[in-house]
Structure 1
Amino acid sequence: MATMTSSAFTLGAVPPGLVLILGGLLLPLVTGQLRRVLVLAFPLLALFLVWQVPNGPVLTLPFLDYQLTPVEGSTLSRLFGTIFGIMSFAGALFALNQGRTVELSAALVYAGGAMGVAFAGDLITLFVFWESMALASTLVLWSASTRSSYRAGMRYVLVHLFGGVLLMVGIAAQIAESGTVAFTAMTLDGLGTWFILAGFLINAGAPPFSAWLPDAYPEASPSGTVFLSAFTTKTAVYVLLRGFPGEEILIFVGLYMVFYGIIYALLENDMRRILAYSIINQVGFMVTGIGIGTEMALNGAAAHAFAHIIYKALLLMSAGAVLYQTGKRKCTDLGGLYKTMPITAICGIIGALSISAFPLTSGFISKSMINQAAADEHLTLAWFLLTAATAGVFLHAGIKFPWFVFFQKDSGLRPPEAPLNMRLAMYLFSALCIGIGVLPGPLYALLPYPVDYAPYTAPHVLAILQLLLFSGLAFFVALPYLKRTLTITLDFDWFYRRFGAALGREFQVKGSASRERLAGVTQRRLDAFIRGLYRHHGPQGVLARTWPTGSTVLWVSVILAACLVFYYL
C-alpha cells in the first residue's frame, strides 16, 4: 500500500512526470483544437506539480522486500523538474503544427520519463523511468517516417538498450552489496557502481558511444530534434550530479567530450549535426564540473544544464525552422536566409551567443562557474583546456552555424518566416537566454548550494570578450579553409554500422550454409529411420507378417515359462 509523509493527500505526492506520461497516452484519443490545448496544458500542469513537491520522501510504495520512493523532492530535483517542464511546454508550442500525433504523444511520455527520473528516490523507480525514456525517444525519432530515421532509430535503441542492461546489472549488484534501493551518492568501490556509471555515461554521450547522438538526432523531424536535445543527456547529467559528485575520472571523461564535440562539429556540413556534436561538447563541460565536485563546480554544472537546455533548444528551433521552410539541411545548400527569415536568424544568433558564453547571456553566467571552480581547485590543465574549449565553441556554434546558414554566399533560397507557433517558441527561449544572462539571481537561487559568485566582474567580462574576439578573428582569417564539402566523418559508430553489419552478413552466409548442411544430414538420417521402420513394420515387415497358430502358441508358452522361472527365482 502506498504511504505518504502526511496523513492527508497532498499535491506534492503526485508524481509530476506521471502527469506528462498519462497526458501523452491520452493525446491520441483527442483531435483538433482540444489536442492543441492539451499538449500545452499538460506541461504547465506538470510544472505546477513540480513546485508542490517538498524536500524529502513524499510517496513510498512497498515492493518485494524493499520500499520504493517514486517521489522524493530536493533542490536539485526541483531545478531539473522546472527546466524539463519549461522545455516540454516550449517544445510542444514549437511542434503545435505537427500533424503526427505519435510524435507529440511520445514526446510527452519522453519528457515525463525525464521528470520521473528527477524525482525518483530509489534505483528501481529510476530504472523504470529511464527505460521509458529510451522507448519514447525512439518513437519520437521514428515518427519522422523516413528510411534514414528508421535506420538511425534502430541503432539508437540498440545503444540505449545496451546502456539499460549495464544500468540494470549495476543496480542489481548495488542492491545486493548494500541491501538498499535508495538512490544516493555512490563511490566507485564495487562492480555495481562501475556498471551504473557506465549506464549513465552512455546516455550522457560519453566515449566510446558518443556517436549515437549525432547519428540519431538529426534524422528526427524539425520538432522531434528539439525534444531529443533536451532530456536524455541532461537527465544523465542529473543522475551523475546525484550519484557520482567529485569522481575524478569524470574530469577526464568530460574534457574528452568537450574537444571531441568541437573537432567533429568543425568538420561537419549538416547544420543539425553541427549542433548535435555541440551537445556532446556542452555536456562535457557539465561532466567536468561534476568530476571537480566542489559546491561551486556542482552549482555550475547544474546551472549550465539548465541554461543549455534553453539555448540548445533555441538553436535547434532555428535550424528546424530553416529545414521546415526550405527542406535543406546542408550548409553547402544554405546561405543568405537572413533576407527572408530575419526573425529566425536573430533567434539563432541569440542562441549562438548564449552557447558561446557571451556576456549578458545565460551561457556566460553558468559556464564561467565551472571554469572558476577549476581555478579555485588549482586544476591548471583543466582550467586551460576549458578556456580553450570556450573559444572552440564560439568557432563551431557561435559563428559557424549562423554564418553558413544565414549569412554566407547567397543560396538563392527565399523561404518565408517560420509559422507563428515556431516563432513564439523561439521568442520565449530567446527572452530566457537574455533574461537569465542579465539577471542570474533567480537561477542561482534554485541551485543546490548557496552561491557566492559574481559573474559580472571586470576580469571575467574582459577575459571572455578578448577570447571571443580573437576566436572570431581566427574564424574569418581561416574561412577559406573552413568551406564545407560533401564529406563523411568516421566515428566509433563505424564499427556497428559497417564492420558490425559486415560481420552479421558473414555470419548469415556461414550460418545459412551450416543450416543447409545440418538440414541435409538430418533429412538423410530421418529417411533412414523411416525406411527401417517400414522394413520391420510395413506390410511385408518381419513384425507385420501373419504367423501360423502353432508358432504363436509355441512362443506364448516359451514366454510364459520364462516369466514363471524369473518369478520363482
Structure 2
Amino acid sequence: MIDGVIPPAFVLLAGAALIGLTRGHVRTAVLFAAPLAALWAVWQIPDGVVVTAQFLGYEIQPVEGSPVRRLFATIFSLMAATGGLYAFRQAKWYELAAGYAYAASAVGVSFAGDLITLFLYWELMAIFSTVVVWCGGTPEARAAGIRYAIMHLLGGVILKVGIEGVVVHTGSVEVQPLLAANFDTWMILIGILINAAAPPVSAWLADAYPSSSPTGSVFLSAFTTKSAVLALILLFPGEPVLIWVGLYMIFYGIIYALLENDARRILAYSIVNQVGFMVVAVGIGTELAINGAAAHAFAHIVYKALLFMSAGVVIYRTGMTRCSDLGGLFRTMPLTMVCGVIGALAISSFPLTSGFTTKTLISVAAEQQGLATVYFLLAAASAGVFLHAGIKFPWFVFFQKDSGLRPKDAPWNMGAAMVFFAFLCIFLGVYPQPLWALLPYPMEYSAYEPGKVLFYLQLLLFSGLAFFLFLPLMKRTLTISLDMDWFWRVVLFRLGNAVLNLGVALREAMEATVERVQQGPGARLVQLLDSSGALGRTWQIGTTALWIAVLLTVYVFLYYID
C-alpha cells in the first residue's frame, strides 16, 4: 500500500454516513465537500496496484489505477457532486445518503483490481440503488424496487458463479481481459450484461428508474449501466458477441422509446440505446473503439443526467409524467426547456455537442475495421435517437399543444446543476481535447471533418423532417408498452396461480375419494380398521396368540403344497 493514498470510495462512503449524522448547514457542507474530496482522491491514484490486502487466502487489490479507471471514477464523482446540488433542497436526507453510497460503490468498482473487490462493490451498488428507487415513496416505487432488487441480486449470483469458476480453474482473482469461451466466463459476461440492461433482461431499467423520485432518477441514470460498461472494457475488450448485443440494445431502445408516453420511460429506454453504442465499441475492441466507449460513457452521463434533471423539474413542478398531459411549458419554464433541448441535441450527436464528438469515435472505429454493416447501422441508429430523444422528448413536453399548465421554472439549485451540465455538453462538443487527455490510449482524431459534419447534419435534419411529416402518427395516447418483463410479471404469476389451483384441486379430489370410500363398498374395511372394529380394537393376548398360530399353520401348509 502506498502511504497517503485514500481509497476514493471510502471518502464518498464517509460522506454518505455523515449526511445521516449531521443537520442543517453542516449537512450541506458535507454534501458538497464529500464528492469534491473524492474527486481529489481519484487524482491521487497513480497507475498500477496501490492497495493490497489478504482476504480468504487470496491477495486482493482494492485500489488499482489506470487512465480508464480514473476517467470513470472522475465522472462518477462529478456526477455525485452535481446530483447533490440538484437534489439537496428537495430530496430527503436518506435519499441523499443512499445516492452518495451508490456513487461510492461505482467509484469502488472503477478502481477494483481483483474480482472479489469488484463483486463486493457490485453488490453494494445493487443495495444502495434499490434504496434510491424505494425513496420514490409510492406503492409503485416500493414494488418496482423489489423487482429491481430481485433482478440485480440474480445478476449478482450469476456473476459470483462465474467468478468462483474462474478462481477455481485459474487460481487468479485479478481483473484482466477474458474471452467468453467457457461456462465460467460466460457467467461473468451475462452477469455484467444484466447490469448493462441488455435485452431480454433490460426491463428493470424502464420499470424502476421512472418510479423513483425526480431527484433519485438523476442518480440512477449515471452509475449502474456505466459501471457495467467499464467492467466490459476491463474484462471483455474485443469480444465479438458484444457487437451484436450492442446493436440489438440500440434498436430495442429506439423502438420502445418511440412507443412510450411517459417522459422518464422515454429517457430510460434511451439509456439502453446509448449503452448499446458503448457495448458495440467494446466488442470492436481496438484502441480507438475503447477510447470511444470510454468517452461516450463520460459524455452520456452528463447529457443523460441533464435530460433527467429537465424531466425531474417538470415532474416536481407539475406532478405529471405523461407526454399526453404536458405541452406548452416553454412559456413559464424557459431555463428548463433550454437545458432539456441542449441535452436532447447532445444525445442526438448534433455537431458542436459532446455526443457528436464521442459517438463519431465509435463509428470511425467500425469503419476502420471494415465493419460496413455496423457503420451504417450505427448511422441509422443516430437518426432514430434524434427522433425519440432529440425531438420527441422536448417537443411533447415543452411545445406541441398548450396544456394550460403554467408552472414556475426550476428552483435555483436545480437550475444551477442543469446549467453546469448544459455547459459541459457544449464545451466538450466545441473543445473535446480535455476529455481526449483522459482517455486510455493516445490518439489523433478530428471530429469536425467537413464530410463527417455534413453527413450527420443531413441525417439528423432529414430525421427531423420525417418526425414532423408523420407527427399525427407520433401523437401520444394512453397506452402501455409490453416488454420482456411481461413473462415473469404476468406469465410466471399466472403459472404460479395455476400450479396453486391445481394443488388445491388435487387435494379436494383426494378428500372426496376418501369420503366416497368411507361411505361406499370400502366402508366395511374402514370399520374393521377403526379402533372399534375387529382389526382395530385391542385383543387379549391369548386370542392374539391363537390367531398367530392359525396364520403360521396356513403359511406352512401353502408352502409345502407349492
Do these two structures clear the TM 0.5 threshold for a shared fold by scoring above it? yes
Distance (Å, rounded) in 2 between the aligned partners of 1:450 and 1:157: 39
After superposition, the CA RMSD in angstroms is 2.5
Match of 2:179 in 1: 187
How far 1:372 sits from its partner (Å)? 0.4
2:260 maps to which of 256, 265, 268? 268
| 2:203 is equivalent to residue 202 of structure 1 | no
* Structure 2 partner of 1:77: 69
Cα displacement (A) at 1:188: 1.5
Output the amino acid matched with 1:244.
F
Structure 2 regions of 5+ residues with no counterpart? 514-529, 532-537, 542-562
1:388 and 2:380 equivalent?
Answer: yes
Work out which of the residue numbers 159, 170, 176 in structure 1 matches 2:151: 159
Matched, 1:67 2:59: yes
The partner residue of 1:364 within 347, 353, 356 is 356
Rounded Cα–Cα distance in structure 2 between residues aligned with 1:241 and 1:255? 17
Distance 1:99 1:429 in 2: 20
Show the counterpart of 2:404. Answer: 412
**Counterpart AA for 2:117:** T
Partner of residue 505, structure 1: 497
Q: Which amino acid aligns with 2:404?
A: G
SS in 2 for 1:52: coil
Equivalent of 1:299 in 276, 291, 296 = 291
1:435 lines up with 2:427 in the alignment: yes
Q: Does 1:10 align with 2:4?
A: yes
State the alpha-carbon separation in 2 of the partners of residues 69 and 352 from structure 1.
40
Distance 1:35 1:510, change over 3 A: farther
Cross-structure match for 1:560: none
2-side partners of 1:517 and 1:19: how far apart?
A: 64
Q: 1:108 aligns with which of 88, 93, 100?
A: 100
SS of 1:446's equivalent in the other structure is coil
Give the Cα separation in 2 of the matches to 1:517 and 1:309: 60
Letter in 1 for 2:315: L
Aligned 1:63-462 pairs, distance under 5 A: 63-462=55-454
Q: Which amino acid aligns with 1:402?
A: P
In the TM superposition, residue 504 of structure 1 has moved relative to its aligned partner by 2.5
Structure 1 residues 509 and 292, CA, compared in 2 at 3 Å: closer, same or farther? Answer: same
Measure the CA separation in 2 of the matches of 1:299 and 1:542: 94
Distance 2:154 2:46 in 1: 35
Q: Deviations over 1:197-241 (max 9, x none)?
A: 000000001021011111111000001000000000000000001
Cα-to-partner distance string for 1:30-87 (whole Å, 9 max, x where unaligned): 1222222212211111111000001000000011221000000000100000000000
Which of 10, 19, 31 matches 2:11?
A: 19
Q: Separation in 2 of the partners of 1:287 and 1:100?
A: 35
Amino acid at match of 2:390: G
Task: Show CA shifts across 1:434-492 (max 9, x none).
Answer: 11111100100100001221101111111111111111111111111100101111110
Query: What is the CA distance between 1:138 and its match in structure 2?
Result: 0.4
| Compared CA separation, residues 138 and 511, structure 1 to 2 (3 A) | farther
Kept in 1: contact 2:214–2:312 (CA 8 A): yes
CA distance in 2, matches of 1:283, 1:124: 25
Measured after TM superposition, the shift of residue 136 of structure 1 is 0.5
Deviations 1:7-37 (A, max 9, x none): xx222xx211122123212322212222222
1:28 aligns with 2:20: yes
2:113·2:174 contact (CA, 8 Å) conserved in 1? yes
User: Alignment partner of 1:82: what SS?
Assistant: helix
Distance apart, 1:325 and its partner CA: 0.2
Distance 1:451 1:99 in 2: 42
- Segment drifting more, 456-465 vs 407-416: 456-465
1:176/1:88 Cα in 2 relative to 1: closer, same or farther (>3 Å)? same
**CA drift at 1:191:** 1.2
User: SS state of the match for residue 57, structure 1?
Assistant: strand
Contact 2:91 2:215 in 1 (8 A): no
- In structure 1, the residue corresponding to 2:50 is in which secondary structure? strand
Which has the higher mean CA deviation after the structures are superposed, 453-462 or 25-34?
25-34
Deviation of the 1:541 alpha carbon? 11
Task: Give CA deviations for 1:276-327 in whole Å, capped at 9, x if unaligned.
Answer: 0000000000000110111111100100000000000000000000000000
Read off the aligned partner of 2:264 and give its amino acid letter: R
| 1:485 counterpart = 2:477 | yes
The letter for the 1-side match of 2:151 is V
Structure 2 counterpart of 1:52: 44
8 Å contact kept, 2:36–2:77:
yes
Moved more, 312-321 or 509-518: 509-518
Tell me the TM-score normalized by structure 1.
Answer: 0.89
Distance across 2 between alignment mates of 1:455 and 1:249:
28
Question: How many residues were matched structurally?
Answer: 531
Shift of 1:117: 0.3
